[in-house]
Amino acid sequence: MQMAFRRNLNDSDVLIAVSFIPRGAGGNWAIVGRRSRGGRRVRRQREKRKGKSVGLRIGTLNVGTMTGKGRELADMLERRKVDILCVQETRWKGSKARGIGAGFKLFYYGVDSKRNGVGVVLKEEFVRNVLEVKRVSDRVMSLKLEIEGVMLNVVSGYAPQVGCELEEKERFWSELDEVMESIPTGERVVIGADFNGHVGEGNTGDEVVMGKFGVKERNLEGW
């Protein structure tokens, strides 16, 4: 006898960052998600804001599967007032864009309905701002939007788990590097990803890039 367990989406699972985009802003990097591997620190630049700015709520979430969760996810985004969401482990095969309800649209890519798959969910009002969609693999994709004259690149990533082959891990990091290097200097970048890295308890030596409320032990991908 086989039993299937459906993982419900929980509001607390969504990691959210608020990005303010002033008109004529310069390049900035931000990251939403689990820590990247050693040496891949994120730089932040503070800048003076001139005129009005647009506040975007951007998040990331490993959904486990998108099958049967479209409306549930849309309701959560509406409730949490999220504008853009990177999703991982969608397990949807194909290269499409489709509405999921409540005025949200999912751009996704996957090659296997049983594993991996990434996507980016946009609030309907930002769909017309999409200039480019890069579906690199079932672990990396990106969207380029123009908002208030500012180019914003949203990258969704899903790193291989600890038990995966080294070749698969290196391929993921290579794909992510290629996407980042292809983005012109001066454009904004937000990375929403599940890097499958457990950072463990405390933050000694990493106070600048992470908080101190982790749990359990750090794994290989968390260094």
Helix (H) or strand (E) holding 171: helix 166-181
- Please report whether residue 2 resides in a domain: no
pLDDT in tens, 138-150: 999 999 999 989 9
Q: Which of 45-54, 78-87, 93-102, 154-163 has the lowest average pLDDT?
A: 45-54
pLDDT in tens, 20-42: 555 444 444 455 554 444 344 33
Which single residue is written with the structure tokens 């457990």?
A: 198
Q: What is the DSSP string of 111-147?
A: S-TTS--EEEEEEHHHHTTEEEEEE--SSEEEEEEEE
Structural domain count of the chain:
1
Q: Give me the residues paired with residue 62 across strands.
A: 88
Cβ(32)–Cβ(17) under 8 Å? yes
- Please report whether residue 213 resides in a domain: no
- Please report whether residue 220 resides in a domain: no
Q: State how far the Cα of 23 lies from the Cα of 108, in Å rounded to an integer.
A: 29
- Please report whether residue 138 resides in a domain: yes
Q: Which of 8-17, 39-48, 89-98 has the lowest average pLDDT?
A: 39-48
Q: Among 174, 177, 178, 173, which Cα is nearest to 197's?
A: 173
Burial 110-131 (b: 16+ CB within 10 A, else e): beeeeebbbbbbbbeebeeebe
- Please report whether residue 174 resides in a domain: yes
* CA-to-CA separations, 189 to 29, 130, 151, 185, in angstroms, rounded: 5, 14, 9, 10
- Please report whether residue 3 resides in a domain: no
pLDDT in tens, 192-211: 999 987 777 777 887 787 77
- Please report whether residue 45 resides in a domain: no
Higher model confidence: residue 13 or residue 81?
A: 81
Question: Average of pLDDT values for 204-219?
Answer: 76
- Please report whether residue 218 resides in a domain: no
Q: Which residues form the domain of 74?
A: 11-26+55-194
CATH of the domain at 156: 3.60.10.10
